[in-house]
Structure 1
Amino acid sequence: MGILKKIKKHFERKEKLKYLQSKDIVNINLYDASQKTILFASRDFPAHDKESGANRLKELIFIYKELGYNCIIFAPHMFEDDSYVKFYQQRNVIIYIENTKYRNIYDFLSSFKKIDYVWFNGPLALNLFYKKMKAVLSSAKFIYDMVDIHFLRFKRAIELEPTRISLKKNYKHFFRLETVVAPQLDYIIAISDKEKAIMSQYADKNKIITVSNIHYPKIDISERKSFSESKGITFIGSIHEPNIDAVKFLYEKIMPIVWKTNPELEVSIIGNVAEKLDLKLFPKFKFLGFVESIEEHFMNSRIMVAPLRFGAGVKGKIGQAFEYFLPVITTDIGAEGMRLANHKNVLIANDENSFAQAILQLNNDEELWNTLSQNSIDSLKPFSIESVSSTLKKI
């Protein structure tokens, strides 16, 4: 953050502090000293309905609540009137919000007799908060949740764009964080067994634990709109580079092949990925932006596509599709870490020609569509709340 932005934020904070309804931390009365306490530290507050990683964090917090923990969330610059703050407060989670009682988060944490665990949500949180929190909470156990291996994501991006200097800088930055700093913590959370194996090259494998995404059916399969009742293609994504590239790849390379055979096939793009695109260059795509509920769109769509050419981790968009029994076409990168079989759980295609043919096939083959839709139940099994809860109990 530049110096001018820091100054602006400082004065904005001072102004907002004048009008606080509560001078203390709302929900602090819920703290039970007889229970274990876990602090979740994140660079950005988890907007669970906008980004799959934030939704995963929400589910993890709720699991810890069910296990009887005091749960505290901290992200910078959060005020009591924020809708996401209220969402968690209504579910009995303690949120560190801007207040006049404590100078900062570290002053607040010093007021506790004991914090048992600190969970860093991603490398940005690790980079920003680990050093100071380690000094303040010397007896706590520190957990680094990778979300995905960021240096791997940038390594793969460099393979596609080897001349981009920014990718190389990011690769070096995240490689140091994830292979030098992260191994200093008590636990590293990998998103898949594959990423656990990669991280075992840099850290003690005994401190690396796999905690994947959390998914479960959001509807009964009987409620799913049938092949004949659904139509069109859906892609969902936030402003991450792999999603931006996927939309471009879909529009420029894949769909021109599809449209030669089926010029009427519509493509809808959900999510704020549109904010990073010049929409004039994509006149045949329907950009919906953020939607309050994905259910209507997933129920009406016939196919979910995820033509990801780089990235890392387990892709939440694919798990979301399974939650609504929506058949998926993706790449090896998209299916990575999810234990998915081609033509059983998903269709996998890695170049524009095979991806286009997969779209045309699935759009016309009701039997194949039904197979993929019905197998969504099996696709979701590794990502159940029960499975993740069992793992977290071992930490």
Structure 2
Amino acid sequence: MSQIKKLLIIGFVWPEPNSSAAGGRMMQLISIFQQNGFEITFASAALDSDFMVDLASFGIEKKSIALNNSSFDDFVIELNPDVVLFDRFMIEEQFGWRVAENCPNAIRLLDTEDLHCLRAARQKAFKENRTFELNDLLSEEVAKREIASILRCDLSFIISEFEMKILNEVFKIDPKVLFYLPFLVDEMTQNELMNLPLFEDREHFVFIGNFLHEPNWNTVQYLKETIWPLLKKDFPEALLHVYGAYPSQKVLQLHQPKNGFFIMGRAADANEVVKKARVVLAPIRFGAGLKGKLLEAMQCGTPSVTTEAGAEAMHADLPWNGFINNDTVLFAKQAIELYNDEMLWKQAQQNGVTIINQCYQNHQFETALITEINALMTDSANHRLHNFMGSLLQHHTLKSTKYMAKWIEAKNKN
């Protein structure tokens, strides 16, 4: 009987798969590790939320931990995990040095979710009304922290092929410490497609996205102020339903039923909402990673209209399941065309199935991922020997986060 392998996941938040793509991504990772014999403990310093998943029901031990507190050291020594997965670079900054000191043999993995520095640099360029350029990343403060975190870890999961390219070509990261891992879903069959609501049984446009995520809030503003007036002018009976977790008061104030613009708040079941809609609208102007809402639309058989930023790295060279356009007038025109033309709609729907089955299949990535992790567990010393920049960043003169944490802990005791 093989020895049980222990995985410790340190979460930025407790997983909320019904609130965000990040929550869904985390549950995908948990499933992969469980299927491959890992016993999982999920720890986080975040407060519990009403919408967090019941980890115990998945056979996962839940552990609340504290920031800047040596109680974590005692916890991790006792647990003695074989593998530690950090959820976003900020968590690696907080706990990575503690794991390295107390469990030096544990493999350290980082799930970047998306490149935060890319999102930040694009958002900055957008607000300054200029075109984003890759060189902007080199002066982005978040990039210095995020790249350092990637280098300190044994392996980092990168969700987008475009972000893999940036890490290789802009930041010159050794490919041996990177692993391309997009969203992972099951194959979609024609029978499953046929069981989804038909064109004539669907109605309305829809947008869905967590409002704690700045690109989503910006998208809804853009819809309300620019896209929707153009669309309504040529299609007066159109209705748009905007769903999303954690809507603020400024989001709720956009609710305007007389204009067909409805702020619906959190969706009880996002899949059911998207399945009943005829077209997803996602005029995303900045961001990073992959857009969970657009993959979800494909799974629900719902065509979408988005921008180049929205579709980035999501469909290889395959035709999109709808339209991709940055021009506001054409965006509105194509949204109406897709909504009203059944033949066009069905072809777009079929394109979505092809994208799912060629770009996001579990079996394409799962075996390679576990093989890579097992290889690291077998020969981590050699891997780390050749990650010189990573070992450099573990050097005591560069451990500012460690000494800041110790200072905060000492201060809190006084």
Indicate whether the TM-score tops 0.5: yes
Structure 1 residues 37 and 82: CA distance shift in structure 2, 3 A: farther
Q: What is the Cα deviation at residue 117 of structure 1?
A: 1.4
3-state DSSP of counterpart to 2:201: coil
Partner residue in 2 for 1:388: 365
How far apart in 2 are the matches of 1:116 and 1:98?
19
Structure 1 residues 230-261: Cα deviation after superposition (integer angstroms, max 9, x where no partner): 11111111121111111111111111111111
Partner residue in 2 for 1:89: 56
Partner residue in 2 for 1:363: 339
Partner residue in 1 for 2:163: 195
Q: What is the Cα deviation at residue 83 of structure 1?
A: 6.9
Q: Which has the higher helix share?
A: 2
Structure 1 residues 51-78: Cα deviation after superposition (integer angstroms, max 9, x where no partner): 1111111111011000011111111155
The one-letter code matched in structure 2 to 1:222 is M
Structure 1 residues 262-285: Cα deviation after superposition (integer angstroms, max 9, x where no partner): 111111111126326343344142
How far apart in 1 are the matches of 2:217 and 2:267?
18
- 1:129 pairs with one of 72, 95, 113: 95
Partner residue in 2 for 1:295: 271
| Aligned positions, number | 355
The one-letter code matched in structure 2 to 1:134 is A
Partner residue in 1 for 2:201: 229
How far apart in 2 are the matches of 1:342 and 1:364?
23
TM-score by length of 2: 0.79
How far apart in 2 are the matches of 1:304 and 1:211?
25
How far apart in 2 are the matches of 1:150 and 1:174?
7
How far apart in 2 are the matches of 1:190 and 1:72?
23
Q: Structure 1 regions of 5+ residues with no counterpart?
A: 1-31
The one-letter code matched in structure 1 to 2:42 is I
Task: Tell whether 2:345 aligns with 1:375.
Answer: no
How far apart in 2 are the matches of 1:295 and 1:50?
12
Mapping of residues 45-56 of structure 1, within 5 Å: 45-56=14-25
Structure 1 residues 35 and 332: CA distance shift in structure 2, 3 A: same
The one-letter code matched in structure 2 to 1:233 is F
Partner residue in 1 for 2:177: 207
1:344 touches 1:371 (CA, 8 Å); kept in 2?
Answer: no
1:342 touches 1:348 (CA, 8 Å); kept in 2?
Answer: no
- 1:265 pairs with one of 238, 241, 259: 238
Q: What is the Cα deviation at residue 297 of structure 1?
A: 1.4
1:237 touches 1:273 (CA, 8 Å); kept in 2?
Answer: no
The one-letter code matched in structure 1 to 2:28 is E
Mapping of residues 146-225 of structure 1, within 5 Å: 146-162=112-128, 172-200=140-168, 201-202=170-171, 203-216=173-186, 217=188, 220-225=192-197
- 2:284 pairs with one of 287, 302, 308: 308
Partner residue in 1 for 2:11: 42
TM-score by length of 1: 0.83
2:113 touches 2:159 (CA, 8 Å); kept in 1?
Answer: yes
How far apart in 1 are the matches of 2:10 and 2:208?
26
Q: What is the Cα deviation at residue 127 of structure 1?
A: 2.5
How far apart in 2 are the matches of 1:45 and 1:39?
13
Partner residue in 2 for 1:13: none
Structure 1 residues 312 and 127: CA distance shift in structure 2, 3 A: same
Mapping of residues 329-348 of structure 1, within 5 Å: 329-340=305-316, 344-348=320-324
3-state DSSP of counterpart to 1:274: coil
How far apart in 1 are the matches of 2:271 and 2:72?
37
Structure 1 residues 33 and 39: CA distance shift in structure 2, 3 A: farther
The one-letter code matched in structure 1 to 2:83 is Y
Moved beyond 3 Å, runs of 4+:
81-85, 102-105, 216-219, 340-344
The one-letter code matched in structure 1 to 2:113 is V
Mapping of residues 236-255 of structure 1, within 5 Å: 236-238=208-210, 239-255=212-228
Q: What is the Cα deviation at residue 98 of structure 1?
A: 6.6
1:244 touches 1:276 (CA, 8 Å); kept in 2?
Answer: no
Q: Which has the higher mean CA deviation after the structures are superposed, 200-209 or 357-366?
A: 200-209
How far apart in 1 are the matches of 2:126 and 2:204?
29
Structure 1 residues 345-372: Cα deviation after superposition (integer angstroms, max 9, x where no partner): 3310112112111111101111110011
Structure 1 residues 172 and 209: CA distance shift in structure 2, 3 A: same
2:123 touches 2:286 (CA, 8 Å); kept in 1?
Answer: yes
Q: What is the Cα deviation at residue 377 of structure 1?
A: 1.9
Q: What is the Cα deviation at residue 375 of structure 1?
A: 2.5
1:233 touches 1:304 (CA, 8 Å); kept in 2?
Answer: yes
1:78 touches 1:98 (CA, 8 Å); kept in 2?
Answer: no
Mapping of residues 11-26 of structure 1, within 5 Å: none
How far apart in 2 are the matches of 1:337 and 1:96?
35
How far apart in 1 are the matches of 2:46 and 2:161?
35
How far apart in 1 are the matches of 2:233 and 2:326?
20
1:340 touches 1:346 (CA, 8 Å); kept in 2?
Answer: no
Structure 1 residues 91 and 272: CA distance shift in structure 2, 3 A: closer
Q: Which has the higher mean CA deviation after the structures are superposed, 59-68 or 197-206?
A: 197-206
- 2:75 pairs with one of 108, 113, 123: 108
Structure 1 residues 346 and 105: CA distance shift in structure 2, 3 A: farther
Partner residue in 1 for 2:304: 328
**Higher RCO (CA < 8 A, seq sep 6+):** 2
Partner residue in 1 for 2:108: 142
- 1:58 pairs with one of 27, 37, 46: 27
How far apart in 2 are the matches of 1:273 and 1:297?
17
How far apart in 2 are the matches of 1:177 and 1:103?
23
How far apart in 2 are the matches of 1:83 and 1:329?
29
Q: Percent identity of the aligned residues?
A: 25
Structure 1 residues 267 and 62: CA distance shift in structure 2, 3 A: same
Partner residue in 2 for 1:71: 40
Structure 1 residues 107-157: Cα deviation after superposition (integer angstroms, max 9, x where no partner): 221113x42211111122122221222222211111111111111111111
